[in-house]
Amino acid sequence: MQFYGETLSSRLMLGTAQYDSPAILADSVRAAAPGVVTVSLRRESANKLAGQAFWSLVSDMGVPVLPNTAGCHGVREAVTTAQMAREVFGTDWIKLEVIGEADTLQPDVFGLVEAARILTDDGFKVFPYCTEDLVAAERLLRAGCEVLMPWGAPIGSGKGLNNVFGLRALRAHFPDTPLVIDAGIGRPSHATMAFELGYDAVLINTAVAKSGDPVGMAHAFRLACEAGLLAHAADLMEERDMAVPSTPVLGRAVLA
């Protein structure tokens, strides 16, 4: 899998928030073997420098980092956060979030396109957190994005893929654009389904971090992603409205 010309070792992306301890986070990353970990910019305390300790932990994992602008509700805030993240994490990759609605954390597609254009002009490789809206997707691509990250469901909801029709349409309209399901995945089966639809990667956070066994769940998602990829490559059977017997009826004995 390649994003912006860089090859990843896995199509599973893993978030680093909400884990109960740094040790559980590190063990979960090892169990998931993700191609990327996402991190949010945190302002460091002038006295404790807590942010430096977290960055040291992430660096020691040896996994590529995708900073994000989580929690930003406006274009200026998102752009400034991205610029700070580039300095802190030393990468021009940025997962761009511009939240437009507080209850669902739905992206503000208008602000998202504007921020994406500003950041791509500034040399960033933008991964926009968006909806499955086809028009918004086209605008983001025109703004310079080479990857799209549509939500499956609201962030942290665990509802899976709410709009399968819309996600399938997005995949069909942009067959050559890397697409990542971001947000809403709650079960390994949801991740498998995303790959069966032809999506290129998935981003998981809450479903792993807040499960009863984050390490075990991370491993489960790793296997689910592999299963979905293999199923898509093997060409899934089409659904049918009627039953089709698996045993041939020709040659069956006829009793008078």
The residues assigned a catalytic role are 95
- Which 3-state string (H, E, C) describes the chain? CEECCEECCCCEEEECCCCCCHHHHHHHHHHHCCCEEEEECCCCCCCCCHHHHHHHHHHHCCCCEEEECCCCCCHHHHHHHHHHHHHHHCCCEEEECCEEECCCCEECHHHHHHHHHHHHHCCCEEEEEECCCHHHHHHHHHCCCCCEEECCCCCCCCCCCCCHHHHHHHHHHCCCCCEEEECCCCCHHHHHHHHHCCCCEEEECHHHHCCCCHHHHHHHHHHHHHHHHHHHHHCCCCCCCCCCCCCCCCCCCCCC
